[in-house]
Amino acid sequence: MSKETIGFVGLGNMGHGMAKNIVEKGFPLTVIGRRNRKPIEDLLARGAKEANSLGELAAALAAKQIALVDAPLSRTPKDAWAGTLDVMVGGEAAAVARARPVLEAFAGRIVETGPVGTGHAMKLLNNFVAMGYAALYSEALMIGAKAGLSAKVFDAVIRGGRTDCLFYQTFFKYVLERDRDAHRFTLANALKDVTYLASFAQALGVANPVGAAVRNSFAQAVAAGDGEAYVPMLSDFVARWNGLPVAGEN
């Protein structure tokens, strides 16, 4: 059985790893990137082809029967490279079934969410919960430090308990080990996601007060010029805002 021909647009931190897994698992792949040639050259070496323009890529696909699904992701660039992303996919059952072998090339878990559009709705909620954790951890660490409780003590209580989770563990890999690459998702992107959530809630006509508080934490960091820092680093900025020292600084 022949495999679907894939056109892939966008080869950034997430896209490069996803495309790598698609071509390595035998799918004919055509890619298009932007200024950074490194991921393009890497994928060409793995057997992909390159389109010169979006128009060229679309003309090559337009003659084929195209099915639409929305399939946003969660997890990190490390998971994209390993092929272990979480995917939330919305669409008609037949379209999702057709897309599933491609999604399985880079996903460790696939959750069907309903019609087209529900995948992105669930993505917003997933990111809201994650960024909410980040804001909570950062404030809790700051209050604990003011009260004389170290991050190690905080971690000793939370880790392995009912409020432990994978997001907590990557966040605290930075807090405790200062691993800057533990969770490579920028504060600017986090702000973008919680801003999308605010717009979504407004469109639905619902109150979103917790979302507003979470958004303000990220907006303050981005406004201060720290938008390219990664999400766990919010804990450092919240500490500084409250006159507390940050690990590794005098």
Give me the pLDDT at residue 161, please: 96
Same domain, 72 and 52: yes
Residue 250 belongs to a domain: no
Range(s) of the domain holding residue 28: 6-116
Same domain, 85 and 126: no
Backbone angles phi, psi at 183, to 5 degrees: -145, 90
CATH of residue 216: 1.10.1040.10
Residue 132 belongs to a domain: yes
Same domain, 142 and 221: yes
Residue 136 belongs to a domain: yes
Residue 246 belongs to a domain: no
Q: Which of 86, 116, 146 is the last residue of a domain?
A: 116
Separation CA 185–CA 229 (nearest Å): 8
pLDDT digits (tens, 9 = 90+) for 238-247: 999 999 988 7
Same domain, 25 and 87: yes
Give me the pLDDT at residue 151, please: 96
**Count: domains in the chain:** 2
Q: Where are the alpha helices (DSSP H) in the chain?
A: 13-24, 37-45, 54-62, 77-82, 93-103, 118-146, 151-158, 166-177, 187-204, 209-223, 234-241
Residue 247 belongs to a domain: no
Residues lower than pLDDT 70 in the chain? 1, 58, 60-64, 248-250
pTM: 0.80
Give me the pLDDT at residue 34, please: 76
Give me the pLDDT at residue 66, please: 72
